[in-house]
Amino acid sequence: MKINNLFNIENKTAVVTGGSRGIGEMIASGFLANGTKVYITARKAPALLEKANELSQKYNAECIALPCDLSTVEGIKSFVKVINEKEGGIDYLINNAGAAWGEPFEDFSEAGWDKVMDLNVKSMFFLTQKMTALLKSNATEENPSRVINIGSIDGLNVPMFPTFSYSASKAAVHHLTRVLAAQLVKENILVNAIAPGPYPSAMLGSAVNSDYSEIEKRNPRKRIGTPEDIAGLVIFLCSRAGAFTVGETITSDGGIVKTTGHNLS
């Protein structure tokens, strides 16, 4: 029952997609600060390599950059091949990579629909499928492997912005999480999702010109999310403390969904 045992994630191996910035970087930092080796992925190699080096030094831990394009099944296969060559198995897969697209309803494009659906839903499914053998390698009944899918409160509420494919994709992520949880729990792999509200990120920042003050005022907690908020929740789900939590979508939004019923992000 000691904290150090309940929330221990030392000597584990994690893969965090979209790990070079935003929520992915926050999650990677939480892992590294607590003794987990982390592979981070993104398409832009220079920024990814720089971030891996920065995080390795900051936390005196092993953060490894693997640049790749997860938007195609071929890209996913080549990524998984590299992980297989480097690791006998992994403990945690954090499906965080995603894209958004905003256009007025009457002009919303097929390109904007397909790009978001492909990366946010299709790629998440196929990466999990291809990583299952690696997750099974380290999984036991006592110590299951974990998959955490990053959804959004936009998949629970009607969003403020005209991001039709994004909100639909995140609702799909939440339900896909339940379906994958049912499939993989018998393999000692636990699948859950987190639905973040407003966190500082390139995606939200571009929508509000990186000025979060209005969003903070409207949030029930009077602030936006911090690295500790998202990392703490991920650590709970990945540790002994979260080993009986399966198929859940947990909001991390300061109370927007449950206390206001509106999307204030």
Output DSSP code: residue 120: I
The DSSP string of 105-117 is GGG--HHHHHHHH
Residues labelled as active-site residues: 166
Q: What are the structure tokens assigned to 154, written together?
A: 């936009």
- pTM listed for this prediction: 0.95
Instruction: Identify the three-state secondary structure at position 64.
Output: strand
Q: How many Å apart are CA 47 and CA 165, to the nearest integer?
A: 27
For the beta carbon of residue 253, count every other beta carbon within 10 angstroms.
29
Q: Render each residue's pLDDT in the chain as its tens digit; 265 residues.
A: 999 999 999 999 999 999 999 999 999 999 999 999 999 999 999 999 999 999 999 999 999 999 999 999 999 999 999 999 999 999 999 999 999 999 999 999 999 999 999 999 999 999 999 999 999 999 999 999 999 999 999 999 998 889 999 999 999 999 999 999 999 999 999 999 999 999 987 767 666 777 889 999 999 999 999 999 999 999 999 999 999 999 999 999 999 999 986 665 5
Which amino acid appears at position 141 of this protein? E
Res 160: pLDDT: 83
CATH code that applies to domain 3-259 = 3.40.50.720
At 260 the pLDDT is: 86
Query: Tens digit of pLDDT for each residue in 32-89?
Result: 999 999 999 999 999 999 999 999 999 999 999 999 999 999 999 999 999 999 999 9
